[in-house]
Amino acid sequence: EPEVTQTPSHQVTQMGQEVILRCVPISNHLYFYWYRQILGQKVEFLVSFYNNEISEKSEIFDDQFSVERPDGSNFTLKIRSTKLEDSAMYFCASSDGPGANEQFFGPGTRLTVL
Amino acid sequence: DAKTTQPPSMDCAEGRAANLPCNHSTISGNEYVYWYRQIHSQGPQYIIHGLKNNETNEMASLIITEDRKSSTLILPHATLRDTAVYYCIVRPDYGQNFVFGPGTRLSVLP
């Protein structure tokens, strides 16, 4: 069964450093998403991406965040200068259409900012 | 903010049906009811969705009241592997992202 994969599974970084979280969506999907979940809190939407453009973003997704599809398979989330409060589990998801009923989530990357 | 209300936790005996309620009294006519679950710290997993008719798939059944202000997710024969946080979400048919609330933590007990 096709699945979304994410690397690394755990990333530790120093405050102020840049990090790039990587995702490989399901191959025939065209819509991509990032969500995050701070430990013990709700899953929060960050951004959706289609046709090489951001289609929707939340207020969490400020100028420190960016997304990119650098090639035909990867989808990345970059945090330019990490803060302690960026520590969270970051989930990538993909779907085969806009407003698709099912978004397929990856296993997540745990980001720890020290 | 999420537009649904769910009990924070529930227990269910293994092999019995788990009935998870959800209130969505402000649901609009074009909004669907979705259920996802999150096992431990894994990514959320789609379970089922519906508009106004009851729905069933290999994982669960979804019962939506006639006025659509509440629904119930039914896991017919809960197993230990069904222990998870279950999220009830309402979203319009054109919506892109899902807004997750705190969900219901279901514990299936042996």
Query: Taking CB atoms and an 8 Å cutoff, what residues of chain B touch A105?
Result: 42-45
Tell me how crowded residue B76 is: count the other CB atoms within 10 A of its CB.
13
Predicted pLDDT of residue B85: 97
C-alpha closest to that of B84 among B41, B52, B31: B41
Q: Which residue has the higher pLDDT, A71 or B88?
A: B88
CB contacts < 8 Å between A and B, how many? 57
- Give A8's contacts (C-beta < 8 A, 6+ positions apart): A22, A109
Q: Which residue of B lies nearest to A31 if distances are taken between CA atoms?
A: B96
Predicted pLDDT of residue B72: 98
C-alpha closest to that of A112 among A1, A4, A9: A9
Backbone CA torsion sign across B100, A5, A107, B87? positive
CB-based burial of residue A95 (10 Å sphere; 0-12 exposed, 13-18 middle, 19+ buried)? buried
Which tokens in the block code for residue A107?
């296993």
CB contact under 8 A, B100 and A89: no
On the question of pLDDT at B41 being above 60, the answer is yes
d(CA A8, CA A20): 9
Mean pLDDT value across residues B56-84: 97
High-pLDDT (> 90) share of chain B, %: 83
Residue B97 has its nearest CB partner, among A48, A105, A110, at A48
CA-based nearest distance A68→chain B, Å: 18
Q: Which site among A35, A42, A90 would you substitute to test the B interface, given the most B Cβ atoms closer than 10 Å to its Cβ?
A: A42
Mean pLDDT value across residues B17-37: 94
**DSSP 8-state secondary structure symbol assigned to residue A85:** G
Mean pLDDT value across residues B64-80: 97
d(CA B107, CA B12): 6
Amino acid at B64: I
Residue A91 has its nearest CB partner, among B2, B43, B93, at B43
Q: Does A102 touch chain B (CB under 8 A)?
A: yes
d(CA A60, CA B106): 29
Which tokens in the block code for residue B20?
């998870």
Mean pLDDT value across residues B47-74: 95
d(CA A13, CA A95): 30
Q: How far is CA B49 from CA A10, A64, A98, B55, B74, in A?
A: 32, 35, 16, 7, 12
pLDDT band at B2 (very low <50, low <70, confident <90, very high): low
Tell me how crowded residue B28 is: count the other CB atoms within 10 A of its CB.
10
For A67-96, what is each residue's pLDDT tens digit? 999 887 899 999 999 999 999 999 999 998
Residues B54-74: b if buried by 16+ CB within 10 A, e if exposed: ebeeeebbbbbeeebebbbbb
On the question of pLDDT at B93 being above 80, the answer is no
pLDDT band at B1 (very low <50, low <70, confident <90, very high): low
On the question of pLDDT at A99 being above 80, the answer is no
Predicted pLDDT of residue B57: 96
The rounded radius of gyration (Å) of the Cα atoms in chain B is: 13
Q: Which residue of A lies nearest to B103 if distances are taken between CA atoms?
A: A42
Predicted pLDDT of residue A98: 77
Query: Taking CB atoms and an 8 Å cutoff, what residues of chain A touch B49?
Result: 101
pLDDT band at A1 (very low <50, low <70, confident <90, very high): confident
